[in-house]
Amino acid sequence: METLNYHHLFYFWMVAREGSIAAACEQLDVSQPTVSAQIRALERSLELRLFVREGRGLALTDAGRVAYRYADEIFSLGRELRDTISGRPAGHPLRLAVGVIDAMTKLVVARLLEPALRLTEPVRIICSEGSVEELLGDLARHRLDVVLSDVPLAAGAAVRAYNHQLGESEVAIFGPPALVETLTGEFPRSIDGAPMLLPAEHTAVRRSLDHWFESENLRPRIVGEFEDSALMKVFGHSGFGLFPAPAIITNEVCNQYGVRLVGQIEAVREQFYAISIDRRLKHPAVVAISEAARRQFFSTPSADQARAE
């Protein structure tokens, strides 16, 4: 029976994990010809191409992505074996590496990730936060299983990945009770001239809010702009201004930050996506996140879903 050369597989796994032969060589402290030869030997034994050239770098083929998943599991089990034999506590939870776009509302992220932790199989979630470009790069290098985002991956992006819409929510305006009591008139006229805390200018929800302010002829007094949505809410809690958040987490926002709902903006909606390398979601925890989001968390259909129906 033909056996698999795990030495060859390890070199392949390191290149796939690090994203390039050069990066893998730095980790392994070996030469590039050595690594290339090991990968070619593995491809010959499997009679499959595992990498293809993409620009100046390498990209995994479909077979390569399958091989990487198995290799990741194999070497994870190897670490567990080593820990068990050495007497250290060992477990083997399902690993879920999640990238979160820094501008996303953290209360929404927490609600989205909850179903993964309720699976019967133990799950260990590893969260990273960063810009779209940084996280998509990690996704392409298979350092992440999924990226949670409030914007879809644009057509023609350098990374080959797929959008899975989880749902959408109207945006609402919240404020500390003392400030809310000073507002006069009906919403939305009541927020004209009021101190306002907003997401950073480059975010999708900020662009939508700016357009809505313009269409309604509203001129709130912007006193702060934030990359971090949680920090924006902390400033709101401290009394510095009104702030927007997805209406779907109204109860959580009011309870956690001690604020009141001012009004909902039907014309401004925030969408949420899971971005993955796979056309169809396969990771059990990501599947659980997607199904729970669509069936439970987002109670109203998205505009795209409504049009389709």
What's the CA gap between 221 and 205, in Å, rounded? 18
- Are 137 and 261 contacting, i.e. CB atoms less than 8 angstroms apart? no
DSSP secondary structure string for all residues of 221-250: EEEEEES-HHHHHHHHHTTS-BEEEEGGGH
Q: Which helix (H) or strand (E) holds 289?
A: helix 284-292
What's the CA gap between 127 and 108, in Å, rounded? 14
What's the CA gap between 118 and 120, in Å, rounded? 6
85-94, 123-132, 196-205, 281-290, range with the lowest pLDDT: 85-94
Extract the runs of DSSP E, i.e. beta strands, from 48-112. Answer: 51-54, 57-60, 94-101
> Residue 301 in 3-state DSSP?
coil
pTM: 0.70
State pLDDT tens for residues 68-123: 888 888 887 787 677 656 544 455 678 899 999 988 999 999 999 999 999 988 88
Res 170 pLDDT > 50: yes
Res 254 pLDDT > 70: yes
What's the CA gap between 174 and 9, in Å, rounded? 54
- Please name each of the domains of the chain with its CATH number: 6-85 (1.10.10.10), 93-309 (3.40.190.290)
Res 266 pLDDT > 90: yes
What's the CA gap between 207 and 237, in Å, rounded? 24
C-alpha count within 13 angstroms, C-beta hemisphere, residue 159? 23
92-101, 161-170, 274-283, 295-304, range with the lowest pLDDT: 295-304
Average pLDDT on 283-291 reads 93
- Are 293 and 272 contacting, i.e. CB atoms less than 8 angstroms apart? yes
| Tokens describing residue 225 | 């702009």
Res 14 pLDDT > 50: yes
